[in-house]
Amino acid sequence: MCLGELLPEGVEQLVLAFCARKEQLSGPILELGMGTGKVALQIFLMLRVDVLGLELAPSRYALAAAALHKLAQTSERFQVQDRGDEASELLDRQHNVRCEFRCASLLDTPEDMMQKASAVVMEVCLPLEVQRQASKRLQSCRRGCRVVSYSALHGLVEDCRLAPVDASGTDRLGDGRGGICLAASWKPMGHGFAFYEMAGTAADAAVAWVEAEKTRCEGAIQIDVTGCPSRARRLRYTDEVLADPVLSQYPWKAGDRILVGYSWLPFPDLGDPDDGSAGGLDGVTWMPAFVVSVFDDNFVNVCYEDDGTVEERVHPDRIRVPGKPRKVRTDQAANAVT
C-alpha cells in the first residue's frame, strides 16, 4: 500500500458520487496522479467506462502497467497493448471500453481528454503552483464534469468554473459546499476532499458558491490538507546551513534518478551515500527519487520512488547521483557535483 491512497470503499463512495446525477455518465474518467492504478482500475471495472490514468513516477507507472497485464491474463474478455515504455492500454472486449495508463505529468493531460471527461480524480498532494496550473487545465472540462481533489482548487485562477456539487436530496454528494468525505488509507473514517462540478460559466459558479454558503453550514466538510502523509513535511532538512546554490552547477535534469539525503542534524555537508553512515542515529538517509523540475536558482522539485510523494524546492546539496561520487570543491560551491 502506498502511504496515501483511497481505500476500495472510498472508491465505491466516489463512484456513487460520480453517478448520482440525472444524466448517465458519458465520457472518460481521468485519474491524474494514479499511483499504482488501483483506483483507476476499480473505477474501470465498476463503471465500465473509458478511463485514463496518468502517473509521474516511472516505478509506480510500471506497477500500474503490470496490473493491466495481469488482468489480461485472467480472461479473454481483456486484451492488453503496450505503447512503448510510457503507455499501456487494456481493452474490455465485452463492454468495448478502454483503460489507458500513461507515465506522464498530470499537467500533460491531453486537452481533448480534458474536454471529454465526465469526471476527474486528483488524489494527489501538489505544490501550490502546480495546483494553480492544474486548476487552469481543469477549466477546459465541460459543464457537468465532476472533480474530486485532495486540495481545494477553486478560485486559484481567473474565471474559475469549479462549483460546489448540489447535494440536495441525497447524502451521496458530500456537503453541498464543495466537500466530500471518502475513506482513505490515512483516515479510514473519511478524509475531507474537495468535490466540484464544472459550471457553464464562471458567473454561474460564483452564484453556486453563494447559494451553497446560504444553505447548509452544520456538517460542512473540512478540506483537510494536513492528514495525507507527505515526505516533504516529515523529512524537512534544515537547509539553512547549506550554501546558496545559485552560482553552482549540477549535472541533473528533469527525469533523472537521484538520491536525496536527509539528516536529523544540520550537517553542512551530508557526505556521500556510500560513506557507511546511512541509518545511523546521527547518520544520513539517502532516498531514491527522480527530478521533477529544476528552478533557475538550482533548487529542485523531486518525487520519491517509494511512495510517490513530491518534495518541493529541495536544496541541491542534498542531492547525489547514484554511483557517481562528487568532486568536492573548496570554493563557494563546495558541495556541487561536477
Question: Of 141, 310, 314, 319, which one interacts with ligand SAM (CB under 6 A)?
Answer: 310
What interhelical angle do 58-74 and 38-47 show, nearest 10? 40
Any contact of residue 124 with ligand SAM (CB under 6 A)?
A: yes
Question: Of 13, 42, 88, 105, which one interacts with ligand SAM (CB under 6 A)?
Answer: 105
Q: Which stretch binds ligand SAM (CB under 6 A): 34-42, 157-165, 235-243, 294-302?
A: 34-42
Any contact of residue 56 with ligand SAM (CB under 6 A)?
A: yes
DSSP state string for 134-169? HHHHHTTSPTT-EEEESS--TTSSTT--EEE---TT
E-only strand ranges, the chain? 29-32, 51-55, 78-83, 87-92, 97-103, 119-122, 146-149, 162-164, 179-184, 187-198, 257-262, 285-294, 300-304, 310-314, 319-320
Q: Which stretch binds ligand SAM (CB under 6 A): 27-35, 72-80, 211-219, 320-328?
A: 27-35
Find the distance separating the first CA and the last CA of the chain, reported in whole Å: 37
Question: Of 13, 51, 60, 90, which one interacts with ligand SAM (CB under 6 A)?
Answer: 60
Residues 249-308 that bind ligand SAM (CB under 6 A): 303, 308
Question: Of 28, 35, 174, 273, which one interacts with ligand SAM (CB under 6 A)?
Answer: 35
Give the C-alpha separation, 323 to 305, whole Å. 17
Question: Of 30, 99, 106, 182, which one interacts with ligand SAM (CB under 6 A)?
Answer: 106
Which spans of this chain sit near ligand SAM (rule: CB under 6 A)?
Answer: 2, 4-6, 32-35, 38-39, 54-57, 60, 105-106, 123-124, 126, 130, 303, 308, 310
